Structure 1
């Protein structure tokens, strides 16, 4: 408000009155203040007003990168377990782009939710610093925040990537193809880092020709699997870094009739994973527990915990079902 006051040539009090609809300025001055505020991107913060009044809404916001996968179903279950015990209402919204994420989070914060749980879609959340400064508690889930220091609850993606690659190596595989989503995503980059570390530990050189990232949707993942199978020295096993990648790899293997000849380890459970032929081996973690821990952390912040931001990393585990235990024929 000081910047607006300086530009218009009025007092901060005059700016505050106009922006809060309290009057006290001539129509001409009020219009100049409002025009300048809009030009400077000023947004009246209802959160800060509510905090000054000491009010609570018993409502928390949850913003998800997407909401159609089993991961989010289990995550929401864990969040709602805690919310119900504490008689909190959870307002859920989705975002599929950086711009939509920003608009959604700022809209929720301006409506005075008591705190926000965020599964980020963008790679920079510095725009939330004013909300944090105003006292809005924030907890990130699955992916760490960027541009802002707040709590986060993550899975051990590095450990999961290491365990998956090592598991396949135990069955004789050295040509392990990797299919993943966006390379810039934390979950993808950390799993790939774990994969590389497993190769280093076992004294095996990583062949970059076996890595296919930035796939969008099952069709692109299927095409990536086809490429890995068509190499002069093809992949004998697959490590897929997301459900759409797993689906694509399965389609490729089935189309060639070699589902029982190539090993496959996926990330996270998917519907009917145990009913596939062969049943799908996965590296996973307790997703509902992730939601519960994040919500408890948010509640602690809402109730006054002002300690240094924490990063909680949940362990991963392999669930062997058959597809990841197919031995290498070479």
Structure 2
């Protein structure tokens, strides 16, 4: 069969992809028969299916799933969108991998996007995925209200919120008990006789950050430790900023003797500042979120661990159930975090 070349103004000529018509000619069948075979529809004998599949292999044919979906109202794209905050972060990356593993055997692929706490980006990406007929959405929202999803939810689009709860929309969610986690971290340091415990947090308008601040304050109140507003530093957004904040707090006349950090990148910044000050073994530290090599730091890091694999597995389970037609009331799964003591959180108050 002759090869057709296409001319590109921006690069060298390259062979055009084989079409369904090419496959039909090579297999000696109709285009409709090829369509049935590649779309997994009945109506073709075993012998005919084998001829078509052999032609597909010989021609290196790639089925245009998007075009097929447009032609068939009941067809699925085989794609779900995962809108996470930062897929470069170890928490989001671990969650994405767990979700992919949960969906792999179902033939569903995951398209991941970083939102970077930008509500307008969230809305734009959602609109794009809906236009492209995504089968479902997994959303770690940047926006605070989610009524804009009501029409899609009513139309039957499966939407599962993860890490943060939906507001203005009642749909499936999988979250962590952030208040409990921060209470555990703070209480653990109080048990080591610490009273001047500082906390570094992300933006207060982020739901998870606000919940972790609440847990920190609750643990201080339960231990009858006075809350010092100067020791709570919200809106810390990066590792470098966290290092500067910790260094500044340590330079005070009445410095904190321990820290709770509300996010893994803030924990890394705190570690750098403590090491630079030569205080890694004198100041207590408990971080929220585990991350790779946290156990290799000296001293190894005590953390509040979220079971990322379980979170991703729960999201995948709910999503697959919805894709299979489950119309039960929304699931609201809340998982408990665990304290992992490794050394940094067990440093007692210096005498």
* TM-score of the pair, normalised by structure 2: 0.77
Find the counterpart in structure 1 of residue 99 from structure 2: 79
Over the aligned positions, Cα root-mean-square deviation in angstroms equals 1.9
Aligned pair partner of 2:139 in 118, 123, 129: 118
Find the counterpart in structure 2 of residue 57 from structure 1: 77
Find the counterpart in structure 2 of residue 313 from structure 1: 334
1:63–1:93 Cα contact (<8 Å) kept: yes
2:290–2:306 Cα contact (<8 Å) kept: no
Aligned pair partner of 1:241 in 242, 255, 262: 262
Question: Quick one: distance in 2 between partners of 1:259 and 1:249?
Answer: 10
SS in structure 1 of the partner of residue 239 of structure 2: helix
Find the counterpart in structure 2 of residue 26 from structure 1: none
State the Cα distance separating 1:218 from its structure 2 match.
1.4
Find the counterpart in structure 1 of residue 282 from structure 2: 261
Which residues of structure 2 form unaligned runs of 5+? Answer: 1-65
1:67 matches 2:114: no
1:215 matches 2:232: no
Aligned pair partner of 1:275 in 293, 296, 299: 296
1:262-313 deviation per Cα after TM superposition (whole angstroms, max 9, x unaligned) = 0000111123111111111100121011011011111212222222222111
Question: Quick one: distance in 1 between partners of 2:109 and 2:245?
Answer: 43
State the Cα distance separating 1:50 from its structure 2 match.
7.2
1:168 matches 2:202: no
1:302 matches 2:323: yes
1:76–1:288 Cα contact (<8 Å) kept: no
Question: Quick one: distance in 2 between partners of 1:313 and 1:81?
Answer: 21
Aligned pair partner of 1:198 in 216, 219, 223: 219
Find the counterpart in structure 1 of residue 350 from structure 2: 329
State the Cα distance separating 1:73 from its structure 2 match.
2.0
1:51–1:135 Cα contact (<8 Å) kept: no
Question: Quick one: distance in 1 between partners of 2:326 and 2:217?
Answer: 39
1:117–1:295 Cα contact (<8 Å) kept: no
1:51–1:329 Cα change, 3 Å: farther
Structure having greater relative contact order (Cα 8 Å, sep ≥ 6): 1
Aligned pair partner of 1:285 in 306, 328, 331: 306
SS in structure 2 of the partner of residue 266 of structure 1: strand
Find the counterpart in structure 2 of residue 152 from structure 1: 173
Find the counterpart in structure 1 of residue 109 from structure 2: 89
Question: Quick one: distance in 2 between partners of 1:165 and 1:112?
Answer: 45
Aligned pair partner of 2:160 in 113, 125, 139: 139
State the Cα distance separating 1:118 from its structure 2 match.
0.9
Question: Quick one: distance in 1 between partners of 2:176 and 2:191?
Answer: 24
1:230-260 deviation per Cα after TM superposition (whole angstroms, max 9, x unaligned) = 2332100000001221122112111111111
1:161–1:192 Cα contact (<8 Å) kept: yes
Question: Structure 1 stretch 224-233 or stretch 182-191: which is displaced more?
Answer: 224-233
Aligned positions, number? 283
1:167–1:324 Cα contact (<8 Å) kept: yes
Which residues of structure 1 form unaligned runs of 5+? Answer: 1-45
Question: Quick one: distance in 1 between partners of 2:99 and 2:71?
Answer: 24
Aligned pair partner of 1:250 in 267, 271, 279: 271
Question: Quick one: distance in 2 between partners of 1:151 and 1:231?
Answer: 46
State the Cα distance separating 1:52 from its structure 2 match.
9.6
1:328–1:305 Cα change, 3 Å: same
SS in structure 1 of the partner of residue 295 of structure 2: helix
Question: Quick one: distance in 2 between partners of 1:203 and 1:317?
Answer: 24
Q: Segments of 4+ in structure 1 off by > 4 A?
A: 49-52
Find the counterpart in structure 1 of residue 56 from structure 2: none
